[in-house]
Structure 1
Amino acid sequence: MQTNNKMAVAPVRRLIWQMSIPPLISMFLQYSYNLIDSAFIARLSETALTAVSLSFPITTLMNAASIWIGVGVNVLIAGYLGEKKQDEANTTVTHGLLLAFGIGALLNLLSLLIMKPYFGAFTNNEEIYQLSIAYMSVCSFMQIPNMAHIAIQKMIQATGNMVAPMCFQIAGVVVNFVFDPLLIFGIGVFPAMGIRGAAVATVAGYLLSMILAFALLLGKKQKVRIKIKGFHLQKWLIGRIFALGLPSFIMNALSSFMVTFVNFFLVAYSDTAIAFFGAYFKVQQLIVMTVNGLIQGCLPIMRFNFGAGNRDRLHSAFRYGTALVSGMMILGTLTVILFPAQLLGLFTASEAMRSFGISAMRIMAVSYLFCGWSTMISTYLQATEQVFPSMLIQLLRQFLLLIPFMWGLEKLLKITGFWLSFPVTETATFVLALLIFRAGRKKETLCSGTKTQ
C-alpha cells in the first residue's frame, strides 16, 4: 500500500541514512575507480595522463546526459508514487528507457564524429593526439549501457530501494577495477593494450551494470514496471523528464565545459599543467561526487514529501541533509590540504608538477564546503519544481561567475590567480544561492498563508 511507503512515515534522519548510504558508496567506488584508472594510466607516462585529461570533458558530458534522463525519471516517479499514481509511474519507466537508448546511440555517434577536431584543437603533440584518439574511440561505446543502467538505477531509487542499484553499479566498478591493470599492462594471458585497455575495461563495466540493471527491473518485486500494454509516446511527458532532470544535467555538463575552458587556459603554460589539473580533478570529483551521492539520497525524500504536501518532512530532510553535507565537505577539504603531496604521488607526479601542484590543490580545496551548500540548495529547488533557480545556481558555479573570475584573476596573478578563481567563485555562488533560497521560502510561506485564509 502506498500509505505505508517509508518515504512518508519513516523518521527523516534514519530515512536519509538508509537512502543515502548506498548511492554514497556507489559514487565513492565509481570515482575511486576513475582516480585509480588515471593512476594506472599515469604509470604509462605523463603523456598518457594528459591524453586522458583531454578526453575527460567528452566522457563527463556523456555521463551528464545519462544523469539528465535518470534524474528526470527519478523525480517524476517519486512524485507520482507520492501522489499514488502507479500507472503514470510505470509509463514514465517506459519513456525513460526509450530515451536512454535513443539518446545513448546518438551521443555514441556524435563522440566518434567530433573527437578528431576536438583533440586537434588542444594539442600539437602527435603522441598526445594519437593516445587521445585511441582512448576515446573505445570509450564512445560506453554511452548506451551507461545511459540505460543509470536510468534504471534512478527508477528503482525513486521507489525507496537504494541498495539494489548500488549492487549492480558496484559490479560494474569491480569489473573496471580488475581489468584495468590486466589490459593496460598485459598481465597473464591478457594482451598489453596500454591506454586502449583502460577504455575496454570501462565499457565492459558499464555493459555488466546494464545487464544486471535490466534483470533487476524485470523482477516481480519491483514497485514500478515497464508499461507495454496501452503504451504510447507522450510528448509532454518527455518534456517533463527533460525539464526536471535539466538542473542535474547542467551541474554535470558544466563540469565538462569548465574543464574544457581550463584546458584552453592551461595549454598556454604546459602539458604538465593540463596533466596536473586532470589528476587533481579526479581527486576533487571523488570528494564532491561522493557527497553528491548523499544528496541523491535526499532528493527523492524531498520530492516525495513535496508531492505528498508534507512540508515539515520536506524541510527536515533539507536541514539534516545539509548538516551531513557540511561534515563530509570539511573532511574532504582537510584531506586535500593536509596530504596534497601524497595525493599527487598516486599519479606518479614529476617534480615539475609538484612544484606548483601542491599549493594549487590547497588553494582549490577551500571551495568544497561552499560547493556542497550551493548544491544542496539547488537540489531542494529541483525537488520543489523550482527548475530555473536550481539551474541558475549551477550556471553561476561553473560558468557565469567562474569564467570571468578565472580570466580576471589569471591576468592579475598568473597561474596562482587561476587556482584562486575556484574558491572565489564558490563563495560568491553560495551567497547568491542563499538569497535565492530565502526569496523562494518567503514566497512559499506567503502562498501557504493565502491558501489557509
Structure 2
Amino acid sequence: MSQTRPARVMLDAPITKTLWQMTWPMVFGVATLISFNVVDTFFISLLGTEALAAIGFTFPVTFTVISLTIGLGIGTSAVIARKLGAEKTRQARHVGSSALYLAALLVALLSLAGWLLARPIFSVLGATDELMPLIMSYMNWWFLGAVMLVIPMIGNSVLRASGDTKTPSMIMALGGVLNAIFDPLLIFGWGPVPALGMQGAALASVLSWSIGFVLIVYWLVVRKKLIDPWPPSFSVFVASSRRLLSIGLPAAGANMMTPLAMGIMTAIVATYGAAAVAGFGAGIRLESLASIFILALSMSLPPFISQNFGAGKMDRVRAAYRTALAAVFIIQLVIYGLMVVCLPLIQMAFAREGAVAQVLAWFVWIMPLSYGLQGWVILTNSSMNALHMPLRALLLSMVRLFMLFVPLSYLGSHLAGLQGLFVGGLIANILTAIVSYHWFMRILNDYEQDTGPLQMAGPVTSPGARSGK
C-alpha cells in the first residue's frame, strides 16, 4: 500500500472539489447497497401485511450486526488513513489485513449469539406467535450469511482510506443489482426454482454478499496488493486489532445504539397493531434511501479528515466539516420535497392496506423534515471518530438516542399517538444537531488553543490524548 495520488489529493487539492470527487461515487454505491432493504421491502410487501410486519421486526436485529461492521470499518478507515497521512504505509498494510480477520471473527460470534437468542429477542420486541415463523424463516439464512457481508464492507473501508471511492461504489452497486435480480426469482419462484417466500429474500441477500466477498478479496489481495493474505504474525494481528478496537468498538457501540433505539420504538409502535409496524418499518427503510447522500459523505469525509489530521493540516479539517454540513442541509431539504410529492407512489409501492398507507404518510410528512440536521449529527459523529475520539462520538450517540430521541418520541406518542411519536423524533434531531455542531467546534477551538495555529507542520497526536480526555 503506497501513498497514491488519490491519497495525496486529500492533503493538497481544493476541499470542496475533493470532497465531491470522493463522495459522488459513494452516492451511487450507497444507493445500490441500500436498495437491498428497499427492494426486499417492496417484494416482501407483495406477500401481504403480515410478511411486511415481520420484516419490520428484523431491522433492529440485523442492523445490530451491521452496526458492528460499520464501527469496525470506521476504525479501519481512521487508522489506515492516519498512517497513510503520516507515510507509514507498511503499518497501514498490516492494519488492513488484520481488520478483515478481526471483523469476520466478531461478526460470526455475534451472529451465532443472535441465532441462539432470536426467539426471545423478537418476543421482547413485540412479535406475535403468528409472525414468529415468518421472522425466523428470514433470519436463519441472514445469520448464516452475515460473515459474507462483513468482508466486503471492511474491504471497502481499506480502499476508501487510501482515497479510492470508485471501486467500493462499483462493488456495492453490483451487490444491489444482483439482489434485485435474485429477490423476485427466489421469493416467488420461476421455472425449476421454487417459491421460497421470506427465506428467498434472505437467501438473495446472502448470494449477493458472497459474490461481493469473492470480488473484494481478489481486488485487495491479488489485483491491487493493498493487504497481505495473512497478517505477518499473530503479535502484529493482536497489536493491529487493539488499535482497530480502540476506535472500532466505541464506534460500533454508537452505531448499535440505533437498532437498540429502533427496537424500543418498534415495541412502542407495535402497541398500535401490525399495520402500524408495517408502515413504520417501510418508513425506516425509506429513511435510509432518503439519507443516501448523508451516508455517502459519512464514508468519504472521515478519510479526508483522518489524513489531514495525520498530516497536521487542521485548517482543512475545519473547512471540510463545515462544507459537509452545508451540503447535507440543502440536499436533504430538496429530498424532503421530492418525498412529499412522490408520497402517493410510495404508498402504492409499499402499502397494501389503508391503515399501513396512513402510517406511512404520517412518517413521510414529518420525519424527513429533520433529515438534514440528523445528517449533521451523523457527520459530527464520523468526524470525531476520524480524529480518534471515539468515546465522544459514543457519548453523542447516547445523548441523541436515549436522552432525546426515544424519550421525546415516547412523550409524543403518549400525547398525540403515532403522529406525536414522529414529531418527537423530529424535535430530537433538531436539538441534537445544535449540540453536535457546537461540541465539534469547541473541540477544534480547544485544539487551536493547545497547539497554536491550526496549520501544523507535521503529524499530530489525538486532541483527546493530548488533553487527557
TM-score (norm 1): 0.94
What residue number does 1:291 align with?
294
Q: Distance in 2 between matches of 1:434 and 1:319?
A: 9
Q: Which moved more, 1:379-388 or 1:63-72?
A: 379-388
Shift in Å at residue 7 of structure 1? 2.1
Between the aligned partners of 2:254 and 2:446, the Cα distance in structure 1 is 25
2:400 and 2:335 mapped to 1: Cα distance?
Answer: 19
Query: What is aligned with 2:243?
Result: 240
Q: Does 1:194 align with 2:197?
A: yes
State the superposition RMSD in angstroms: 2.1
Q: Gaps spanning 5+ residues in structure 2: where?
A: 457-469
| Equivalent in the alignment of 2:344 | 341
Whether contact under 8 Å (1:258, 1:399) holds in the other structure is yes
Match of 2:147 in 1: 144
1:289 shift after superposition: 4.2
Q: 1:24 aligns with which of 27, 43, 49?
A: 27
SS in 2 for 1:191: coil
Q: Is residue 282 of structure 2 the alignment partner of residue 270 of structure 1?
A: no
What residue in structure 2 maps to residue 98 of structure 1?
101
Cα distance in 1, alignment partners of residues 273 and 63 from structure 2: 23
Q: Is the 8 A contact 2:4 2:162 kept in 1?
A: no
Q: 168-177 vs 295-304, which deviates more?
A: 168-177
1:117 deviation in Å? Answer: 1.4
Q: Paired residue for 2:51, among 33, 48, 53?
A: 48
Contact 1:389 1:436 (8 Å CA) reproduced:
no
Describe the shift of the 1:161–1:133 C-alpha distance in structure 2 as closer, same or farther (beyond 3 A). same
Q: 2:424 — aligned with what?
A: 421
| Residue pair 1:337, 1:365 contacting (<8 A) in 2 also | no
Instruction: Give the aligned partner of residue 398 of structure 1.
Output: 401
Structure 2 CA distance for partners of 1:147 and 1:401, relative to 1, 3 Å: same
Distance 1:128 1:299 in 2: 40
> Partners in 2 of 1:97 and 1:378 — Cα distance?
23
**Match of residue 71 from structure 1:** 74
Name the counterpart of 2:460.
Answer: none
Letter in 1 for 2:119: K
In 2, distance between residues paired with 1:3 and 1:181?
Answer: 42
Q: How many angstroms does 1:248 deviate by? A: 4.0
Q: What is the Cα deviation at residue 415 of structure 1?
A: 2.5
Aligned residues: 452
SS at the partner of 2:55? Answer: helix
Q: In the alignment, residue 374 of structure 1 is paired with which amino acid?
A: V
Per-residue deviation, 1:331 = 2.0
Match of 2:175 in 1: 172
Matched letter for residue 448 of structure 1 = T
Shift of residue 384, structure 1, vs aligned partner: 1.7
What's 1:448 paired with? 451
CA shift for structure 1 position 378: 2.2
**Structure 1: gaps (5+ residues):** none
Cα distance in 1 for partners of 2:399, 2:339 equals 24
Deviations 1:102-146 (A, max 9, x none): 112212211210112122334564331110011101111221111
Letter in 1 for 2:274: D
- In the TM superposition, what is the alpha-carbon distance from 1:343 to its structure 2 partner? 1.3
How far did residue 216 of structure 1 move?
0.2
SS in 1 for 2:151: helix
CA shift for structure 1 position 407 = 2.3
